[in-house]
C-alpha cells in the first residue's frame, strides 16, 4: 500500500542538477535537498555550484559543461562511482540571443542550439543510459512557455525549447519500459540571471508581469515545488508531458479585459 505521507519525499535518492549555480537550477537543488535527496550540484560556474552545495550543507559539486561530451561522461561516471546510482536529473542550462531571426548570424544560432538543445541531449543521454540499466529514474528538462508561444527576438530560443519537448517525449517513449520517466517543466517569466536584461527595463518587465493571470513575475524558488513533484513518487504515473509553471500565461490572452 502506498504511504501517502511520503509521496513527495526523496530520501535515499541521488539527484544531479545541471545548472545548479544560479536561477532555477539553484532552486531545484535546494528543493530536492529539502525533500531528502542527496544532491550533486553541477555547473560550468564551479564556484557557484560549490556555493549552492555549501548552502545545502551535505551536497557535492562538480564542474560540468553539458556541451562537452567527454566532460559529461566523466561527471556521470564519477557520480556512479561515489553513489552507485542516479535517480533524478534536472537540466536547466540555457542561453538566449534576443534579436530578429533575419539579423542572426550562423554563429549565434549555433550558440543557442549547442547549449539549449545539444547540451541537454548529451546530459539526458548519459544519465538516461544509467537509469535504463538501473530500471528507475526521473529526468526533468527545462523547457519554457516559448515552446508554444513566441514574440519577435525569441525565434532561436523558442525553437530549442520546443525541440526539448519533443526530445523529452521521445525519451519518455523509449525509456518508459525501463521504468524511467521523462518530463519537461515550462516556466513563464522567472527572475533569473538569464532574464536580468528585462528587469532593467521597467516597461518591458511590467508588460510581462501584466500578461499572466497572477500579474507578476515568478521567483526562481517557485520552480522548486514542481520539480520536486516530478522527481518524486507523487508523479509515478507522469511521463512524456509538459508541466507549465507560468502563472497562467499560456491560458489567457491577457491583452485586454472586456467590459463584461
Residues labelled as active-site residues = 157
Q: Which residues contact 253 (CB under 8 A, 6 or more apart)?
A: none
Pair 213, 198: CB distance under 8 Å: no
d(CA 235, CA 216): 27
- Residue 39's H or E segment, with its range, is strand 38-43
Residues sharing a CB contact under 8 Å with residue 152, sequence separation 6 or more, in sequence order: 100
Query: What is the distance between the alpha carbons of residues 188 and 163, in angstroms, rounded to a whole number?
Result: 17
Report the chain's C-alpha Rg in angstroms: 18
Neighbours of 65 (CB within 10 A): 19
Q: What angle do CA 82, 86, 89 make, to 5 degrees?
A: 130
Cell 500578461 belongs to 211
Q: Which residue has the cell 515568478?
A: 218
- Asked whether 51 and 60 are in contact (CB, 8 A), the reply is no
Amino acid at each position: 500500500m502506498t504511504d501517502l505521507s511520503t509521496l513527495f519525499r526523496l530520501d535515499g535518492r541521488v539527484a544531479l542538477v545541471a545548472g545548479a549555480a544560479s536561477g532555477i537550477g539553484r532552486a531545484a537543488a535546494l528543493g530536492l535537498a529539502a525533500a531528502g535527496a542527496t544532491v550533486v550540484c553541477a555547473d560550468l560556474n564551479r564556484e557557484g555550484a560549490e556555493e549552492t552545495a555549501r548552502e545545502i550543507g551535505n551536497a557535492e559539486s562538480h564542474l560540468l559543461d553539458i556541451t562537452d561530451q567527454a566532460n559529461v561522461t566523466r561527471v556521470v561516471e564519477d557520480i556512479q562511482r561515489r553513489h552507485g546510482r542516479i535517480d533524478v536529473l534536472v537540466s536547466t542550462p540555457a542561453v538566449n540571443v534576443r534579436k530578429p531571426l533575419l539579423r542572426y548570424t550562423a554563429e549565434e544560432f549555433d550558440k543557442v542550439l549547442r547549449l539549449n538543445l545539444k547540451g541537454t541531449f548529451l546530459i539526458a543521454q548519459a544519465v538516461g543510459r544509467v537509469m535504463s540499466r538501473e530500471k528507475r529514474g526521473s529526468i526533468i528538462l527545462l523547457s519554457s512557455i516559448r515552446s508554444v508561444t513566441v514574440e519577435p527576438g525569441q525565434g532561436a530560443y523558442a525553437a530549442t525549447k520546443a525541440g526539448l519537448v519533443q526530445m523529452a517525449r521521445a525519451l519518455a517513449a523509449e525509456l518508459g519500459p525501463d521504468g524511467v520517466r521523462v518530463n519537461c517543466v515550462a516556466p513563464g517569466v522567472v527572475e533569473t540571471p538569464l532574464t536580468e536584461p528585462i528587469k532593467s527595463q521597467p516597461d518591458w518587465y511590467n508588460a510581462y508581469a501584466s500578461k499572466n493571470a497572477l500579474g507578476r513575475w515568478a521567483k526562481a524558488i517557485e520552480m522548486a515545488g514542481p520539480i520536486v513533484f516530478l522527481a518524486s513518487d507523487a508523479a509515478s504515473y507522469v511521463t512524456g508531458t509538459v508541466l507549465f509553471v507560468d502563472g497562467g500565461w499560456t491560458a489567457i490572452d491577457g491583452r485586454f479585459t472586456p467590459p463584461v
